[in-house]
A and B are shown apart, each in its own frame.
Chain A
């Protein structure tokens, strides 16, 4: 997977360099008439468009790899990555390990049980509804 990523990034950089070459060779070539998208305007002063595109593709490849590692079904991975906005894909790529994962009420160690029982009674936590 790591090597795939390395290949992919080399390929992307090469592709982007090649596509931008004609512009460098002939500076009088007409500019693209594409409008600035809402998404890039919202992203504010992030780095140049090319670098952004590379980052997005890599981030999505990264997220896909991580989701597979976390046991997500192969058939679902692509749709799940596609549903993320660029900003969310970046966030997942950068910090999936640290993101809190909502799971709900689950069993805890005994020492922790006592502490949480006290904090529950104090009204600071909500682990054991029977405290009320």
Chain B
């Protein structure tokens, strides 16, 4: 019995050691990133509002929104994003609230490299951390505003601390527990450097859902400029131009989408519908044949339209 206990204790210590060493992986910062970044960056012009009680969500939003020149305050944001029953704020509402203030909220790639690159480009990043352990989580939002590469520290506006410095490894451990979640905020019609095409697409699409295609048009244009070979961006631009009444531009964008990605049924279908509206039945038939040949959710509608011509 005594031995069993000893073995169990030994196993426990071993397990704990294993767990801890598993967590304590050193943060991955690519050598190329290290070489390309300036040693120190600090966006000291980002305002600071200390959180009260559980209000780190509204406080971080007030900091980044005011930094963008948006007129709002912690008091105004509390009823918009805070969940009294959960004593906190949830991620979808953090993004949605930014959009209410007519700004884009774009999730970043979850790596230290991406985070530091955004900071160097001048964009503060809202990050979500779990300051404690997975078993007793302490979820927290903070604004990353800078870094010190030689000292390997990150600088944050966090909780009640205006300038919280934290080692890369400690920060990354707390950040990893949220799946390295974070986002940057930008004015529609501009895109922060370094965001992925997919994340930008989804952010602009969500913005368009609330504010309409006209308000999203300039963002689609800059996205197409930044990622000229992205078929979905062309497609989205086509829809926004169509809503704006610019039929020729819209048709051109849909066409470009089919050139970039010939298997995109939705682009063929929209191109065909526009040709039909302009009474170009030959061109419409051509596009419909393409759309009807592609398996997927647009196939049926394309076939029906083709039968009607």
Contact = CB atoms under 8 A, between A and B. Distances in A.
Interface residues of B, number: 79
B79 interface: yes
Query: Most chain-B Cβ atoms within 10 A of its Cβ — which of A42, A48, A122?
Result: A42
Given A73-B79, A115-B133, A104 B51 contact: yes
A18 interface: no
A114 to B, nearest CB: 12
B96 A85 contact: yes
Interface string B64-107: 00000000000000011101111111111111110110000000
A40 B266 CA distance: 9
A108 B139 CA distance: 13
Contacts of B235: 38, 41
Contacts of B43: none
Q: Is the interface of B mostly helix, strand, loop or mixed?
A: helix
Contact of B85 (A69, A85, A109, A124): A69
Interface string B215-255: 00000000000000000100110011010000000000000
Interface of B: 20, 23-24, 51, 54-57, 79-81, 83-97, 99-100, 128-133, 136-141, 159-161, 164, 166-167, 169-171, 173-174, 178, 201-202, 205-206, 208-210, 232, 235-236, 239-240, 242, 266, 269-270, 273-274, 276-277, 296-298, 301, 304-305, 308
6 contacts: A35-B273, A38-B235, A80-B93, A87-B206, A116-B133, A124-B170
Interface of A: 28, 30-31, 33-42, 45-46, 48, 67, 69-73, 76, 79-80, 82-89, 91-92, 96, 99-106, 108-109, 112, 115-116, 119, 122-127, 129
